[in-house]
Homo-oligomer: A and B are copies of this chain.
Amino acid sequence: MLTFERYEKILNYLENNKVAKLAELVEVTDASESTIRRDLTILEGEKKLKRIHGGASLLKSKVAEPSMFEKQQQFTNEKKQMGERAAQFIQDGDCLFIDAGTSTQAIIPFIQAKDVVIVTNGLNIIEDAIQHQFRTYVIGGYVKSGTHAFIGKGAVDSLQQFRFDKAFIGTNGVDIQFGYSTPDPEEAQIKQLAMKQASQSFVLADSSKFGDATFAKFASLEDAVLITTESDDHVYFEKVSKIANVEVVSNDDLYGNS
């Protein structure tokens, strides 16, 4: 067997099994332990896999910037459940605005509806939306470091060209008095405008955001359907429920994800 073929076999085995023990790779390739070790060293150097004690594993990420993709991988069970619930509101033919952020990103894998058009201001959203083969539009703008959201004048101008059936928005704070808020006024402006352009708005926020009021308010609680998780603070939760239309999902973390 040629060296090149062995590499292929190793990588292929990893694709299927995520991780591989040394002995397994020896078995698959019919090569010696030493050879496999050497191969792993080389393939790791080429960033094709990651060596771990006892074998090898797939790289966490196939995307250059690991941080963004890792977040994607590390969706908490809470986020997944909120994403799944949010996706249930989506119907065939909808035009959607999906806000930048990981909470909203979690919606995409659950969208079953066909002929959905997605408009977004989030770099991470684009990547996922494309991967799931949705028709995807981007608003322009300045790329904010950190959240990788598109903001500013360009974003506002672009956004005004669209109308949405549904807007899905992330938030940093959910406060009874102050409503929904986020630290960056420019991001708030985009969220506000997107909601204005949408027939129906949904805000995704786990219950840890309850009672938080950050710098820039972009909507009142009654302006959107709030998709959230169970809260320990039942009193506050009840108050919020009185004002907003709340959809609550369990926050059990069955898989032990953080």
Residues of A within 8 A of B (CB): 2-5, 19, 21, 47, 52-55, 57, 62-65, 67, 69, 72-73, 123, 126-131, 133, 135-143, 145, 148, 150, 152-154, 157-158, 161
Contact = CB atoms under 8 A, between A and B. Distances in A.
Contacts of A161: 153-154, 157
A138 B136 CA distance: 15
Given A65-B131, A154-B137, A53 B143 contact: no
A100 to B, nearest CB: 12
Nearest to A50: B4
A44 to B, nearest CB: 14
Given A2-B55, A63-B69, A158-B158, 16 more contacts: A2-B19, A2-B53, A3-B52, A63-B127, A65-B130, A65-B131, A123-B126, A123-B127, A135-B142, A137-B140, A137-B141, A138-B154, A139-B154, A140-B154, A140-B158, A157-B161
Contact of A143 (B3, B62, B69, B137): B137
Contacts of A62: 67, 69
A149 B158 CA distance: 17
> Which of A3, A142, A154 has the most chain B CB atoms inside 10 A of its CB?
A154
A150 B138 contact: yes
A19 to B, nearest CB: 6
Contacts of A158: 140, 154, 157-158
A21 B2 contact: yes
Contacts of A130: 65, 123, 143, 145, 148
B157 A133 contact: no
20 contacts: A3-B52, A5-B19, A63-B69, A64-B131, A123-B123, A123-B130, A126-B143, A135-B142, A136-B142, A137-B141, A137-B143, A138-B138, A138-B140, A138-B143, A138-B154, A139-B140, A140-B141, A140-B154, A154-B161, A157-B158
A169 to B, nearest CB: 19
Contacts of A129: 143
Contacts of A131: 64-65
Contacts of A157: 157-158, 161
A54 B140 contact: no
A52 B133 contact: no
A106 to B, nearest CB: 13
Nearest to A72: B64
Closest 5 pairs (CB-CB, A-B): A140-B140, A140-B158, A136-B143, A2-B54, A139-B140
